Amino acid sequence: MAFKGKWEYLVFFLAAYLPFHTTFLSILFQATNSKLPVTLFQMAKDLVVVGSVLIFVLYHRKPFEYPFRFQLVEWLLLAFIGLAFIFLLLPLQGPGFVEKALYFKNILIPGLVFFVGRNTDFEDIEVKRLFQVIFVIAISAFSVNLFEAGIGSHLQTFTGYAHFNYGIYDIEPSGNFGLSWTFETQAMTRRLASFFSDPLELASSMLLGFAAGLIWFLTSKREESFPYLMVMLCSMGSLFFSSSRAAFGAFFIMLFFIALIFKLYRLIFFGFSLVTAFVIFVVFFASEDFYYFVIDTLTFQNASSVGHVLEWVASIESMIENPLGVGLAMSGNSGSVTEEARIGGENQFLIYGVQMGFLGMFLYILLLGFSISQSIKVFRLTENVMTARIAFTAAAVKTGLLLPLFTANAELYAYVNWISWWMVGYAMNEYSKITYGKA
């Protein structure tokens, strides 16, 4: 990137490093017992993104002649980031400027990743290598899950996860496994996270692995398709080990979306078969604890489900009282959001609604909607198979993430969100070529 001006190669760093980010920081803190190196490495991934954009500017021979040909997705993204910047500057009560700046950074960085994707033109071999990294992550995550299941323990028990959370974020260990309640079900069974930060991030990230494996399976010769089938099976296996209800639901939503949009009727049958098999298992073969766990989840009597509803109610009440928003760093689970200031926090749409009002929430919804629809157009119109694969994966993953966004601050799952925003940006590059004949 630095010596050859390959700002585009940022995506390889993100795909290979982000899944291990929290695990790496935990090990680093366990080894040094110092906040300084942890803080430096926490900033490193953001600085690499900013550095990539700066390298793009430096290596652009005529920066003042850069052609700004904005698509609707880009206008919405600029409006959303611009609104967040206004809230950063507004002298509202609540957290200090530093906390707001840190939260604004969480909004800005994915936008910069999108910008890098928007200005990337890869050769076919480079796109193939990116997908190979995604495939290796999916298979490796499942392999670690099998190891965790085999030894009957979480990987995070050995990496110093609880020590890291307490030392850096002042979060006490909780739950029956000495980590946090996220790592177990209500029936006190383990929810595994592999090398990701927690089971919820693992589950959401496997949507990326499955979608990527599926499009390569569908667009490859049958004698070459076995590795992609393995990627899909490993992704589904990790979904099972994560025990994430939202991700399970998102998986089926993504399956039906893909099948309907691309007329893959066998995939619809496969999805219905999986749902039917699950219902039969729950009704006739599951343990009593698991049976009532499913029933309580569906009827919102489960403690976790009730918690989601209470958080949603708090957020909605805040939006009704303050329709223009209360300011950044006032909702969600980001590290810059203090417990004293936090309003709601388990619904990404409502999180933005609380902080930036109804306008911020609607901009975010429109941004997601048009990112999906225009990526689908690129998939259908482009003549480049590799670009079509990227556009397909972007649309499928953004659709699959809609349900987790209702139950978590899911934009914080850096791996799946940053890579999918890069893919949307790459697809918009092709969309501009299709529309105007230029990038």
For residue 265, pLDDT beyond 80:
no
- Please, what is the angle between helix 245-261 and helix 385-400, to 10°? 140
Residue 56 in contact with residue 112, Cβ under 8 Å? no
What would the pLDDT profile of 105-120 be if each residue is shown by its tens digit?
999 999 999 999 999 9
361-408 pLDDT, tens per residue?
A: 999 999 999 999 999 999 999 999 999 999 999 999 999 898 888 888
Is pLDDT above 80 for 336?
A: no
Confidence of residue 143 (pLDDT cuts 50, 70, 90): very high
- Domain chopping of the chain, boundaries: 7-247+302-436
* Per-residue pLDDT, 5: 77
Residue 339, φ and ψ in degrees, nearest 5: -65, -30
Report the 3 state secondary structure along 336-390: CCCCCCCCCCCCHHHHHHHHHHHHHHHHHHHHHHHHHHHHHHHHHHCCCHHHHHH
Tell me what pLDDT residue 127 has: 95
DSSP 3-state of 262: coil
Confidence at 31, pLDDT banded by 50, 70, 90: very high
Which tens digit of pLDDT belongs to each residue from 42-89? 888 999 999 999 988 887 766 556 666 788 999 999 999 999 999 999
Average pLDDT, the chain: 87
- Residue closest to 138 by CA, chosen among 61, 70, 206: 206
Q: Please give the torsion angle defined by the CA atoms of residues 90, 92, 94 and 99, in that order, rounded to the nearest 10 degrees.
A: 10
Q: What is the pLDDT of residue 250?
A: 83
Confidence tier at 301 by pLDDT (50, 70, 90): low
How does residue 261 score in pLDDT terms, banded at 50, 70 and 90? confident
Is a pLDDT exceeding 90 seen at residue 184? no
Residue 300 pLDDT > 60, yes or no? no
pTM of model > 0.85? yes
